Amino acid sequence: MTAAPVVDVHELRKVYRTGTSGPLGPRRNEFVAVAGATFQVAAGECLGIVGESGSGKSTTARMLAGLERPTAGTISVLGTDRSRPARRAAERHLRGGQLQMVFQDPYTSLDPRQTARDTIDETLRLHTRLSRAERADRVSEIAASVGLDQRQAHALPAGLSGGQRQRVAIARALAADPRVIVLDEAVSALDVSIQAQILNLLADIRDATGVAYLFITHDLAVVRHMADRVLVLKEGHIVEQGPTAKVLDHPEHPYTQRLRESVPARGTP
């Protein structure tokens, strides 16, 4: 990797502390969800993160987005450290302008009272200095770029299909003009044909904008389609990372081999 990475993660660790009460009184348990992950994402690159349920994928994503605080390690995005919580609103906005997130279930991540246009406009208000009229034009542009028609752009989430809602979530992320988008199981809830449409849309967006993706999925077929490189997580540890074709076709770690074998028959993973 020659150019400076847009995401630089070093020895990232998350330990959850949970309390339980037992016969001998309260007990403190520790659970290591992410056990010292080191990886980088280059500008415009798509890095896939795969692993079984519970392997620490979402926890990693949430730490990058500032939704969880790391127990140890460093996260740098565009050269700015974000291992600590943002202290001021301005810092939070700056971080949001650099990295946006798209979740699995847009139904819960979208405000049920906001139309698609309002959702996009809210991000523009936060992250740009455009006037109201300029924002209205930009909202139309962004809505069109993710394939939302006029009716859909004026609809509430409840009036949209799952795929259309995910288009709104992607539009909201794009409105901040980020350099990185973290997608956490972003197509997992969608039918296969809709999944393909959204994956193609994401690929087109990457070509057009040069945005980098951190693409989290349990689906190896999806990661093969999308990612330049892939990182394999097992119980919070990175067991393997490298170019997608190499890792998927010639996995070095038995865990990756097992992941491949457990893929449901839906074409070549």
Q: What share of the chain is helix, strand, coil (3-state, %, to 5)?
A: 40, 25, 35
CB of 162 to ligand ATP, least distance (A): 18
- The smaller minimum CB distance to ligand ATP, of residues 2 and 29, is found at 29
Could you tell me the smallest distance in angstroms from the CB atom of residue 268 to ligand ATP?
A: 22
Q: How far apart, in whole angstroms, are the C-alpha atoms of residue 127 and residue 129?
A: 7
Nearer to ligand ATP, 73 or 147 (CB): 73
For 214, which DSSP code? E
Asked if 153 and 186 count as a contact pair (C-beta separation under 8 A), the reply is no
- Give 12 or 148: the residue with its C-beta nearer to ligand ATP: 12
**Minimum CB separation from ligand ATP for residue 202, in Å?**
19
- Start-to-end Cα distance in the chain: 26
In whole angstroms, the minimum distance from the beta carbon of 225 to ligand ATP comes to 19
Question: Minimal distance in Å, beta carbon 256 to ligand ATP?
Answer: 15
Phi, psi angle pair for 263, to nearest 5°: -70, 130
235 closest CA partner among 41, 71, 31: 31
The answer to whether 248 and 45 have CB atoms below 8 angstroms apart is no
Q: What's the order of all strands across the beta sheet hosting 99-102?
A: 99-102, 180-184, 212-216, 46-50, 229-234, 237-243
List C-alpha distances in Å: 176 to 101, 113, 200.
11, 21, 21
Using the minimum distance from each CB to ligand ATP, give the nearer residue, 236 or 251. Answer: 236
Nearer to ligand ATP, 27 or 250 (CB): 27
Supply 77's token pair. 């995005």
**Least distance in Å: CB of 108 to ligand ATP?**
14
Question: Given the complex with ligand ATP, which of 20 and 193 has the nearer CB atom?
Answer: 20
Q: Which is nearer to ligand ATP, 59 or 115 (CB)?
A: 59
Site residues (CB under 6 A) for ligand ATP? Answer: 16, 18, 31, 33, 51, 53-59, 218
Closest approach of ligand ATP to the CB of residue 110, in Å: 20
How far apart are CB 233 and ligand ATP at their closest, in Å? 7
177 phi and psi angles, rounded to 5 deg = 50, 55
Considering the complex, state which of residue 58 and residue 115 has its C-beta at the smaller distance from ligand ATP.
58
Beta strand spans in 122-269 (E): 180-184, 212-216, 229-234, 237-243
DSSP state of 85: P
